[in-house]
Amino acid sequence: MAPTWNRREFLKHGTAATLAALAAGSPVASMLSGCSLTGNKIKSTADTVILLWMAGGMAHTDTFDPKHYEPYVKGMDANRVLSTFPSIPTSLDGISFSEGLESIAGLMDRGTLIRSYVAADMGFILHARHQYHWHTCYEPPQTVAAPHFGAWIAKELGPMNPVIPPFIDIGQRFTVGEAEELKAFHTAGFLGSEYGPFLIPDPSQGLESVRPPAGMDLKRFEARNKLYTELIKKSPMQDLASGYQKESLMRSMEQAYILLNSPEAKAFDLNSEPKESYDIYNTGRFGLGCLMAKRLTQQGARFISVTTEYEPFKGWDTHENGHTRMVEMKKQIDGPVAQLIKDLEQSGHLDRTLIILASEFSRDMLMEGRPGATVKNQVNQPDIINEEKFYGMHRHFTDGCSILMFGGGVKKGFVYGKTADERPCKTIENPIRIEQLHQTIYHTLGIPPETNYVVEKRPFYTTPDGVAEPVLDLLA
């Protein structure tokens, strides 16, 4: 039975893992790129990965896997409501999406739709724990700080353009609720600071991330950078961290300084985008994040994450007013996601760029968890709906989630897996779990499944024990 962790326990163990990673010393490369012992060479089909993260739990039945639609009527039976939006056709015969996603639906013949992702059972459902698991492939807590999979990609492949940070995260602020829990997986862990995320909380201010603060000239900035370097050398980290960790931190600072003085820094300036293009993407911070992802991909970025941002009870975290909140979330993502795909296709980058749209789990109106592994209900959802705020998918559901993939060698016009048409709308064909999804992503990049580093005298793999295999049926 999975342990039940509350937020305080999760933070306590996560902090201990971070300190353990610092104390562990330099990780030892047991297999550079995972192939020195087996000769297992993989031909890559992608150079860049863009993760479009629907933070908070995106309901599959109200997005990419619609079921029976029941419009709101006061006094309705909640059990009859499987979808709160009517279905719309996609460009793929026989496959429908939910109303409000017309632009993405028009591109479905160019990508793969997974309808059978199954999230892990980890006891009482916490967003931070499931997001940690999704992004690192490891269930918290760990004795070492598990790297984000973007950090693994940065470490194994390095930057495509030496000036552009190999791992860029756009849209998540750490000044909102559960900030410390979110920080726990926005890290390179034991791999070192240079492979961690270059954070851009607000893409509309992206240029501010790569230039000196207002009122500071370059000469003064250089002096301050030199002083900061000296302070780092004299900080407590010198006693706690290994030589590897110290060197990695210094290299990360050097890379940021190089970017500051490079022509590529203009990619972060969205004001230089033509107005016609800018207006399509400008649906909010997520839409502008997609625009920045396009610009950075064209400049040679390796891994980019763009998030709708996780903030408790906002965005996709639809604990009430689920239907009306979904209307707004679809407006934020539909145009920008579709335009990102079209723009990269037009510029010739889509074939070697893997785009993934996903969420930590799905939602259902009545069921919390999954059949056979239900957990404590976290919201009050009446059986008879007399107020519109109860009309929507308000409970966490882990047994049937949708994922979209475009470019990077995945099949075009392909649907993988199936969920039941009646409640519980669970996976009934071809379940896929996080370790399989991660290995599929690594496979497109040419990173073998046995890739690992020795930490605390044991191998730490990209996915637990290195035994998972890619789902080759997803690839062309």
In the predicted structure, residue 432 carries a pLDDT above the cut 70: yes
Task: Give the model's pLDDT for residue 152.
Answer: 98
Could you tell me the sign of the dihedral formed by the alpha carbons of 362, 367, 369, 373, in that order? negative
- Which among 338, 259, 330 is positioned nearest to 294, based on CA atoms? 338
Is the pLDDT assigned to residue 34 strictly greater than 50? Answer: no
456 falls in which pLDDT band (50, 70, 90)?
A: confident
Q: Count CB atoms within 10 A of the CB of residue 345.
A: 16
As a whole number, mean pLDDT of residues 179-186 equals 92
- Do residues 92 and 415 make contact, with C-beta atoms less than 8 angstroms apart? yes
Query: Which residues is 395 bridged to in the sheet?
Result: 364
* DSSP conformation class of 410: B
Preceding amide of 424 cis, omega within 30: yes
Residue with more model confidence, 39 or 60: 60
Using the predicted structure, report yes or no on whether residue 468 has a pLDDT greater than 60.
Answer: yes
**pLDDT given at position 12:** 47
pLDDT, mean of residues 164-176: 93
Specify the pLDDT at position 247.
Answer: 60
Closest CA to 167 of 185, 154, 183: 154
Which DSSP state fits 29?
Answer: E
Mean pLDDT of 13-35: 42
pLDDT in the model for residue 24: 39
| CA end-to-end span of the chain | 38
Output the six-digit token pair for 435.
């370790």
Query: Is residue 456 within 8 Å of residue 24, measured between CB atoms?
Result: yes
Average pLDDT of span 58-85: 98
Q: Do 417 and 474 form a contact (C-beta atoms < 8 A)?
A: no
- Are the C-beta atoms of residues 19 and 25 closer than 8 Å to each other? no
The token pair that represents 222 in the structure block: 């250089």
* Torsional sign, CA 135, 138, 143, 146: negative
**What are the pLDDT digits (tens) for 222-242?**
665 566 566 656 666 555 555
Helices (H), 311-385: 322-346
| pLDDT, greater one: 245 or 358 | 358
pLDDT value of position 286: 98
pLDDT given for residue 111 in this prediction: 98
Averaged confidence pLDDT in the chain:
87
Single-letter residue type at 105: A
pLDDT at 30: 40
pTM above 0.85, yes or no: yes
C-alpha span between 161 and 173 (Å, rounded): 26
Confidence at residue 177, expressed as pLDDT on a 0 to 100 scale? 82
Is residue 48 within 8 Å of residue 354, measured between CB atoms? Answer: yes
pLDDT for the residue numbered 10: 43
Helices and strands of the chain, counted as H and E runs: 12, 19
The lowest-confidence range among 33-47, 125-139, 379-393, 438-452 is 33-47
Q: Is the pLDDT confidence value at 264 over 60? A: yes
Q: Pairing relation of β-strands 303-307 and 48-53?
A: parallel
pLDDT of residue 335: 98
- The pLDDT assigned to 17 comes to 42
What pLDDT does residue 217 have?
64
Q: What is the pLDDT of residues 95-149, one digit of tens each?
A: 999 999 999 999 999 999 999 999 999 888 899 999 999 999 999 988 899 999 9
The per-residue pLDDT for range 326-343, each reduced to its tens digit, is: 999 999 999 999 999 999
Average pLDDT value for residue range 199-226? 71
Lowest mean pLDDT among 162-166, 191-195, 215-219, 401-405: 215-219
Cβ-contact 51, 197 below 8 angstroms: no
Average pLDDT rounded to a whole number, residues 24-46: 55
Interval 303-329 mean pLDDT: 97
Q: Which pLDDT value is given to residue 373?
A: 84
Question: CA 199 to CA 211: how far, in whole Å?
Answer: 14
Q: Which CATH architecture has domain 7-474?
A: 3-Layer(aba) Sandwich (3.40)
Interval 169-187 mean pLDDT: 92
Q: Determine the pLDDT at residue 440.
A: 98
- Which H or E element spans position 117? strand 111-117
Residue 23 is predicted with a pLDDT of: 40
At 128 the three-state DSSP class reads helix
- Say what the pLDDT of residue 89 is: 98
**Residue-wise pLDDT tens digits, 345-377:** 999 999 999 999 999 999 999 999 999 887 889
> In the prediction, which pLDDT does 60 show?
98
Which pLDDT score, from 0 to 100, does residue 205 have?
87
